[in-house]
Amino acid sequence: MSERGLETRQFGHRARLALSPALALKADDQALAARTMWNLLHAWWQMMPKEKRTLANADAAIRQARRDVDFLAVLPAQAAQAVLKTYFQAWKSCWAGRADAPNFKARFRSTLTVDVPQGRDLNIVRVHRRWGMASLPKIGRVRFRWTKELPVGKQASEENRITGARLVKDTLGWHIAFRVQTLERVPEAHQGPQVGIDVGITVPLALSDGETYEHGQWLTSREQARLLGLEQRAAQRMKRRKPGERTSRRLHHTYDQIAGLRAKAKRRALDWQHKTTTDIARTYSVAVVEALQITSTVTMLTYKLARQGGTLAKVPAPGTSRRCSACGLTTPGSRQTQALFVCRNSDCGWSANADHNAARNILHLYRMGHALIPAAGRAVARRAPRVKPATAR
């Protein structure tokens, strides 16, 4: 909500934890207990009659389980309540048609997480230019990487504060994801130009004004060679394994090394996406993209443009890559390769990078009023008629 030019904004910030082996083991135990609690809740849900599937009955069941099973007692009480709330919220999302029904969390296909619902329990302080300290229930004081200013200490208030956090374990170790609430001024309308963006094949991001955003390989040549060697080693060990034989520790270790390199590449790609979308949001007032299920770049652009006073628009995708942005005609054979567009219309002959041509068409559709109109929670497109030649690049 906004008042007097101010608005409440909520966002997340993820930081790497530096845990000793003993503290990492405590975090592992809590995460395993949280996953077990979820699975017990799901089993309880399936066994109970519909009239007894209430929040109060489920709360009583998990309290009794924490008293009866010592393993579950390592999970803080508030974290156990968070599991319960998350489970019931999953069913509400299912009933509303926003998600599938919740299911058991498998050992190898689920992420280990522990929720810290109350931000005041964290007691965060900054102890160094690069490090901060936080208190985790039943774990203790831990260090985390300080890469973003957080509302702590004298900077914290009722409007600007950390409302909670979640511990998340991935291939690269444990991280803490803070939930932050701030009160900020409503941004003024962005005065920058409009731009069409095409998520290309030869160019990662091509803009209608001729700008491109490219990146290299996510792994260095040395890391790629190491990844290939690890994958070959894993394949050889799999061939030597007898049917029904348990996976050896060496093979598990090799899989962990492969996952580590892939996770490193994924994080570098995410870092590039964040930097690229931030630059676009600061430069342009309106970014127009195709209405396709594409990368998380669009999601990042949506909230980053809003924070800068800009907007994100979507237009119908059919024909944008085959239509000439100079004459407005779709002539067979114009898209000669993935990288080159040469208009076959005898009166035109315009040529350019194919992705830039598509970006120009995307922006032109928006300017002609063919943006998608949200209705009843879903996007509905107007019928895209034949368009006139684009007049602006």
Q: For residue 290, with 0-12 CB atoms within 10 Å meaning exposed, 13-18 middle and 19 or more buried, which class applies?
A: buried
- Residue 4 CA, chain-centre distance (Å), reads 32
Q: How far is CA 138 from CA 27, 247, 250, in A?
A: 9, 33, 33
Tally of CB atoms within 10 A around 206:
28
Sequence-distant (≥ 6) Cβ neighbours of residue 34 within 8 angstroms:
75, 79, 80, 83, 112, 113, 114, 115
pLDDT given for residue 344 in this prediction: 81
309 within 8 A of 189, measured Cβ to Cβ: yes
Torsion 345-347-349-353 (CA) sign: negative
Nearest CA to 115 out of 72, 150, 83, 151 is that of 83
Q: How far apart are CA 393 and CA 389, in angstroms?
A: 11
pLDDT tens by residue, the chain, 393 residues: 444 577 788 888 899 999 999 999 999 999 999 999 999 999 999 999 988 989 899 999 888 888 888 889 899 999 999 999 999 999 999 998 888 899 999 887 788 999 999 888 899 999 888 999 999 999 999 999 998 888 888 888 888 889 999 999 988 889 999 999 888 788 888 888 999 888 877 788 888 888 888 888 999 999 999 999 999 999 988 888 878 778 788 888 898 899 889 989 998 998 899 999 999 999 999 898 888 766 677 888 888 888 888 888 888 878 788 888 878 777 777 776 777 888 888 778 778 888 888 888 888 888 888 777 554 333 444 443 344 444 433
Question: What letter would DSSP give residue 291?
Answer: S
pLDDT given for residue 377 in this prediction: 35
- Residue 158 CA, chain-centre distance (Å), reads 28
- Model pTM above 0.85: no
pLDDT given for residue 33 in this prediction: 93
pLDDT given for residue 247 in this prediction: 78
349 within 8 A of 179, measured Cβ to Cβ: no
Sequence-distant (≥ 6) Cβ neighbours of residue 314 within 8 angstroms:
288, 289, 290, 291, 371, 372, 379
pLDDT given for residue 386 in this prediction: 41
Q: How far apart are CA 353 and CA 342, in angstroms?
A: 9
Q: Helix (H) and strand (E) counts for the chain?
A: 7, 17
